[in-house]
Structure 1
Amino acid sequence: MDSIALSIPSPSLAVFAQGVALSFGLIVAIGAQNAFVLRQGLRREHVGWIVAFCAAADALLIGAGVLGMAQALGERPALARWLAFAGAAFLAVYGWRALQRARHDQRLEATEARGGVSRRAALAQAAAFTLLNPHVYLDTVLLVGSIGAQQAATLRIWFVAGASAASLCWFGMLGFGARWLAPWFARPVAWRVLDAIIGVTMFVLSGLLMRQAIAGV
């Protein structure tokens, strides 16, 4: 019998998957932006524009964060290691909080607004929900940026691509799958399962980042 060769993921694929997991874990939460995208999806109003804007904004912030942090840390290896330790600690705390949320009932419901809005008004609301939230910058520019900057220069683009792909998939699911997903997101058990998965994922990423930081000491 011929032996079966096991394919080993290339470094670029592994870094892409790490970007997907990190971005997905941070973006899946009950918040104003997700509720807005879900509401627009339920109303089937400017959905494509809203999804494209939210995903593009995330991609730009993530890319700027990774490139900016990489440049800032390029000549400061000690600072890079300490940021890796800090990122690992943050992910561990985030994972613990997600597991705590999994113990309680939560739901995401989109409230219906009366009357339609113009495309410009809808995009303005999307911009406000996206860019006026300080946590967006902490997550995309600082946290994701500092973790992505730890990657080799040739692999950073794969990390950004993975994180951006997760954002696009999530907003696309919310917007275009709203009528199917809305009843599911309104059930607390769905968010318990999601938070449990996110919690475990964040702990795994924290361990990988911690190992990387220790190896660099």
Structure 2
Amino acid sequence: MPLSLAVAGLLTGWALIAAVGAQNAYLLRQGIVRRHVGPLVALCALSDVVLILAAVLGIGALVEAWPPFLQVARWGGGAFLVAYGLLAARRALREEESLRAATTADRGLGPALATMAALTWLNPHLYLDMVVLGAIANSHGPGDRWWYYAGLVVASVTWFTALGYGSGRLQPLFARPRAWQVLDALIAVVMVSLGVGLVLGG
């Protein structure tokens, strides 16, 4: 029974985390150039560990009880995603700018972590997912819920590690400027779509 709950948590976690989103898109781009991958993977995984733990402990009820929190996250996150998407679109339209952004060390660890933190913590969908996951985990009882939580944590750690370090294998493909333009165009579409969806979707 405990093992089956852990496996269920693992599969549920992969299904939620693997969806194309702003967090994954940013980690993919950083992973391709192999810049700050370890700290970014750690930040993503640790954020999930903390947020899911809070959800399992029932803190997610506070999110539901204080709607202004989600409103702040919706507008702040939406504006940030649109702005980031527009920057990616600008790079996609200018070959030299797209390649320069990929090959020069113009982004230190601090700004990279700040960007990833914003993409992670300003996403209201993340908090809604945590509320759902907390409810599912707690449906298994006070003891068994921790097995489900363990599966979710393993899913987060393995996914972000695989994406961050695995994307580095795509580096030969991105030796061409055109490949960076295509990636930036896709990132722009993802970011702007998510941002607009947050603002208009309520």
Q: One fold, TM greater than 0.5?
A: yes
C-alpha distance 70-119 of structure 1, shift in aligned 2 (>3 A): closer
Q: Per-residue deviation at 1:161? A: 1.0
Q: Per-residue deviation at 1:69? A: 6.1
C-alpha distance 69-133 of structure 1, shift in aligned 2 (>3 A): closer
Q: Which amino acid aligns with 2:147?
A: W
2:60 and 2:108 mapped to 1: Cα distance?
40
Name whichever structure is richer in helix by fraction: 2
Q: Which runs of 4+ in 1 moved over 4 A?
A: 69-72
Q: Per-residue deviation at 1:43? A: 1.0
1:70 and 1:41 mapped to 2: Cα distance?
31
**Residue correspondences, number:** 135
The residue number in structure 2 matching 1:162 is 151
2:121 and 2:112 mapped to 1: Cα distance?
14
Residue ranges of structure 2 left out of the alignment (5+ in a row): 63-91, 93-97, 174-202
Identity, % of aligned pairs? 43
How large is the Cα RMSD of the aligned pairs? 2.4
Q: TM-score, normalised by structure 2?
A: 0.61
C-alpha distance 158-62 of structure 1, shift in aligned 2 (>3 A): same
The residue number in structure 2 matching 1:180 is 169
- Whether the 8 Å contact between 2:56 and 2:135 is mirrored in structure 1 is yes
Which structure has the larger Rg? 1
- Whether the 8 Å contact between 2:31 and 2:37 is mirrored in structure 1 is yes
Q: Which amino acid aligns with 1:143?
A: V
Q: TM-score, normalised by structure 1?
A: 0.57
Matched, 1:60 2:53: no
- Whether the 8 Å contact between 1:20 and 1:165 is mirrored in structure 2 is yes
